[in-house]
A and B are shown apart, each in its own frame.
Chain A
């Protein structure tokens, strides 16, 4: 068994005889490419090209195609090419290969990259209007669902609501507490470190208290929930959409908003304030530990200063924001989940969009609340 493919070219006047030998298979592809390139010029010069396949020991689609390509090159512009000595067991393959690659697809028109960018910009601008519409539609659908539940309280999916509360509330407590604890500790450490230069160490406690209760506690927790639970909602609803589960629900006369979305969003709205409260306490505790071990401030003094520095208003400002943030996260996560199309890729894309969008909206909402509370003097 000869292991190397060969291509013997015998020119005679206008005619050229090509005799491929050996295994013309995919395993020898680089040799085949070199061989066919090496006779290219001769093929172009000859008027009649004969390809004698009697010496070929093994042939597969790739080898057959390389030969067919040679013959097509030879047969171009009014010249002729033919195959001779094709073994019976190769003839089927050769016939098959003769049919392929006959139609060149229309080349895709090159587009101006600047125009393409501008087009994308325009599309995303129009798309953002669609985003707002979808958000409002989901808000409307949820409101209708809530009204429905208020009319007939028994239609509330209590089991589902409690399960979601367990998942996104109870199971989130350890990680939320840990991260807010660390954030509180870091803020306190920074406060002591920098305020010490002005001899204003005791104001660290004011800073930690106000910052954590008004802003950071709820914001950090909302961002964490958006990443942890919002993404889970999008992925769940998205895969349900992919497997037509949501269509199945609709055809059974059930509204997916009632069955799937309301319990999820309601669970978020209930859980986020609780998590924000736990997070704030953990952050204050972290600050207190740093005060004791790094700022040399006795716990009793820390608590007393905290008592002076903060009021219920600060706590209210923080905790009032939580349900609204939860609503935004829930609506974004669920509507992005329902926008998932057939492919796994779109599931990933929509999940990313959901997390990015809900974190962005949570921060924007926080800013709006800051303006609002400042103007009403809270």
Chain B
């Protein structure tokens, strides 16, 4: 047991999640190793976000177990922000707080530290995600889509949590910004030793930053492994996903 605790950041076993009569996740099992970047792909509406939200405890599960850092999840814990940081698809910044206050929020709620240090840390985080100090006093409504994602990432990283959940981090970004964002996640992952769980459709992200990719189809993980192995997978859905016209074109360009 100790062995597995050290090795895996997230362990999901026989997870069943559904709404009403519909079953979205059907006896799904998934392990995320410590310190890896795992990309999760799946059809739109296929339960990728549901899986992520179930792991972080936002959606109740019908059956199965989920362990995060060796601890079974359940209930809303006070220290959740120190365990994981979450980048929601739309950023989910608090609209009544400035950028600086948004980043400081987890610090303020979880730690006791001086305002001066808190300001410096907030600016440091913002600069680490590629923003400037003068952006700190803006309100979320004044930010562009890319900046919102960066601020949300800075907030997710405020406490240097060991696990980072990203819900479509590069959607809505231009390719340059998306590339920067991938590089940023790669750098942060290396420097901070993060485990990253990334839901994405961005083939470039999958190829460049993800250590492993998991494919979710029909409520199950149908294939998992490095991108190279997934490209060779025989599962019909995975083949369709990675060998469709669009994907082919992209991969061709990348070669």
Chain A contacts to B: CB under 8 angstroms: 25-27, 29-30, 33, 60-62, 65-66, 69, 89, 92-93, 96-97, 99-101, 103-106, 108, 341-346
Instruction: Choose among B113, B124, B134, B160 the residue that contacts A101 (Cβ–Cβ < 8 A).
Output: B124
Instruction: Choose among A60, A106, A343 the residue that contacts B95 (Cβ–Cβ < 8 A).
Output: A343
Cα(A3)–Cα(B95), bound, Å: 38
Chain B contacts to A: CB under 8 angstroms: 82, 95-96, 107, 111-114, 117, 120-121, 123-125, 127-128, 132-134, 136-137, 139-141, 157, 159-160, 187, 190-193
30 residue pairs A–B, Cβ–Cβ below 8 Å: A25-B160, A26-B82, A26-B159, A27-B82, A27-B111, A29-B111, A29-B112, A29-B113, A29-B117, A30-B112, A33-B113, A33-B114, A33-B117, A62-B117, A62-B121, A65-B117, A65-B121, A92-B190, A96-B187, A99-B127, A100-B128, A101-B127, A101-B133, A105-B136, A341-B141, A343-B140, A343-B141, A344-B95, A345-B96, A346-B141
Cα(A372)–Cα(B107), bound, Å: 62
Q: Is the CB of B133 within 8 A of A105?
A: yes
Cα(A345)–Cα(B139), bound, Å: 11
Cα(A65)–Cα(B96), bound, Å: 28
A69 to chain B: closest residue by CB: B120
B136 to chain A: closest residue by CB: A105
Instruction: Choose among A27, A96, A341 the residue that contacts B191 (Cβ–Cβ < 8 A).
Output: A96
Asked whether A103 and B133 contact (CB < 8 A) given A26-B160, A29-B113, A65-B120, the answer is yes
B140 to chain A: closest residue by CB: A343
The 8 closest A-B pairs by CB, nearest first: A343-B141, A60-B160, A92-B191, A93-B191, A100-B127, A100-B124, A105-B133, A29-B113
Instruction: Choose among B114, B123, B193 the residue that contacts A89 (Cβ–Cβ < 8 A).
Output: B193
Cα(A61)–Cα(B107), bound, Å: 12
Q: Is the CB of A103 within 8 A of B120?
A: no
Q: Is the CB of B124 within 8 A of A61?
A: yes
Cα(A344)–Cα(B117), bound, Å: 31
- Chain A nearest CB, measured from B88 CB (Å): 15
Instruction: Choose among A61, A106, A343, A345 the residue that contacts B192 (Cβ–Cβ < 8 A).
Output: A61
If over half of B's interface residues share one DSSP class (helix, strand or loop), that class is named, otherwise mixed; here it is helix
A33 — which chain B residues lie within 8 A by C-beta? 113-114, 117
- Chain B nearest CB, measured from A243 CB (Å): 13
- Chain B nearest CB, measured from A270 CB (Å): 37
Cα(A139)–Cα(B96), bound, Å: 34
- Chain A nearest CB, measured from B35 CB (Å): 10
A108 — which chain B residues lie within 8 A by C-beta? 137
Cα(A26)–Cα(B140), bound, Å: 26
- Chain B nearest CB, measured from A61 CB (Å): 5
Cα(A108)–Cα(B137), bound, Å: 11
B127 — which chain A residues lie within 8 A by C-beta? 99-101
Q: Is the CB of B133 within 8 A of A61?
A: no
B193 to chain A: closest residue by CB: A89
- Chain A nearest CB, measured from B32 CB (Å): 20
B159 to chain A: closest residue by CB: A26
B134 — which chain A residues lie within 8 A by C-beta? 105-106
Interface centre among B120, B125, B137 (most CB of A within 10 A): B120
B119 to chain A: closest residue by CB: A101
A68 to chain B: closest residue by CB: B124
- Chain A nearest CB, measured from B124 CB (Å): 4
B107 — which chain A residues lie within 8 A by C-beta? 26
Q: Is the CB of B192 within 8 A of A93?
A: yes
A101 — which chain B residues lie within 8 A by C-beta? 120, 123-124, 127, 133
- Chain B nearest CB, measured from A106 CB (Å): 8
Asked whether A345 and B141 contact (CB < 8 A) given A25-B160, A65-B120, A101-B123, the answer is yes
